[in-house]
Amino acid sequence: MQLYIPKNYRSLLDVTQTEQAIKLVKDFFQINLASALRLRRVTAPLFVRKGTGINDDLNGIERPVSFPIKEMNDEGAEIVQSLAKWKRMALADMGLPSGYGIYTDMNAIRPDEELTNIHSLYVDQWDWERVITPEERTLDYLMKTVRQIYSAVVRTENLVQDYYPHIKPCLPEEITFFHAEELAAMYPELTPRDRETRVARDYGAVFIIGIGGVMPNGEVHDGRAPDYDDWTTPTVDGYRGLNGDIVIWNEVLERAFEISSMGIRVDQNALLKQLKIRHLEERSQLYWHQLLLGGKLPQTIGGGIGQSRLCMFFLRKAHIGEIQSSIWPGEMVSRCRANGIHLL
């Protein structure tokens, strides 16, 4: 059990204030996100058919929650792990033009998640996806979109101070960009996680580009499935990858704090290349992959933004269980209670 107890921690809001503040943050942020990226809200599934390739496989080792459907001859269904691939199907069905997209509340169960201050069995995030043109599959377009999302984050932090003046803003006005390969060259003695801690502490907010591919030093900065983000396409700066993570410095936990994973999605070439790298060529025969390879899905950019994580950061909480109701080990509950951390 990995649990970090901040020294002399005291919640800045009581339980009632916390619940009110959660709604304030979620309502304000999603309106700003939708406006910045021209997104419309849609309803999303909680589960999808098993064996279609629609579910997110994350790093390929996490077990999805599955169940048989009695009225469909016990056909298997899976609780979604994210909606990375479902959203492209939804955009195809809706026929939205480039420059417009969708967002939704994604709720998932990840039973293999390691339970910590920031990881829960229950995942809630804003999943969003936007149609782009083939010409917009560039690093510049990715960075422009990151800045739009980060601006919504900064505005939300300022709103929180308006309602709760004792919670002071701490984010920088601008986000700084690094490629994972740059960080590996800058800090070869550090692990990828420690590199994130170093740059997040030094810059306050960073976007780390190129998550999922093998770097020249043989490392992978972090895992990423081969069939949604594009982490192999070369970019004009000499690196590879059109995806990344938004990472901010969390002063309460004294660590790097990822709030979003996002990227330009694979086209046909990137999909086949990445499946081959991961030795998963057989996936190309699945329903979803056949749609993409057949040119029936639009080119898109998209990602997920953690709802509980954002609220946890803005409200200066020490544990994600102060924001969402979940299941925790008894020892974790006891230690949290003894140190003023109220788990919902």
Residue among 30, 125, 274, 308 flagged as catalytic:
125
Under 8 Å between Cβ of 320 and 344 = no
Adjacency order of strands within the sheet including 47-49 = 47-49, 75-79, 66-69
Under 8 Å between Cβ of 95 and 70 = no
Residue among 30, 88, 110, 195 flagged as catalytic:
110
110 annotated active-site: yes
57 annotated active-site: no
Tokens at residue 114, please?
A: 């390691």
Q: Is 292 exposed, middle or buried (0-12, 13-18, 19+ CB in 10 A)?
A: buried
Nearby residues of 14 by Cβ (< 8 Å), 6 or more positions away: none
Task: Tell me how far apart the alpha carbons of residues 11 and 18 are, in angstroms, rounded to a whole number.
Answer: 9
11 annotated active-site: no
State the maximum Cα–Cα separation within the chain, in Å, rounded to a whole number.
58
Task: Tell me how far apart the alpha carbons of residues 176 and 254 are, in angstroms, rounded to a whole number.
Answer: 19
Cα three-residue angle 175-320-211, rounded to 5 degrees: 45
Residue among 127, 182, 227, 245 flagged as catalytic:
245
Residue among 30, 81, 261, 308 flagged as catalytic:
261
Task: Tell me how far apart the alpha carbons of residues 159 and 169 are, in angstroms, rounded to a whole number.
Answer: 9
230 annotated active-site: no
Residue among 105, 251, 258, 326 flagged as catalytic:
258
Task: Tell me how far apart the alpha carbons of residues 29 and 33 are, in angstroms, rounded to a whole number.
Answer: 6
147 annotated active-site: no
161 annotated active-site: no
Q: Which residues are catalytic?
A: 56, 110, 125, 245, 258, 261
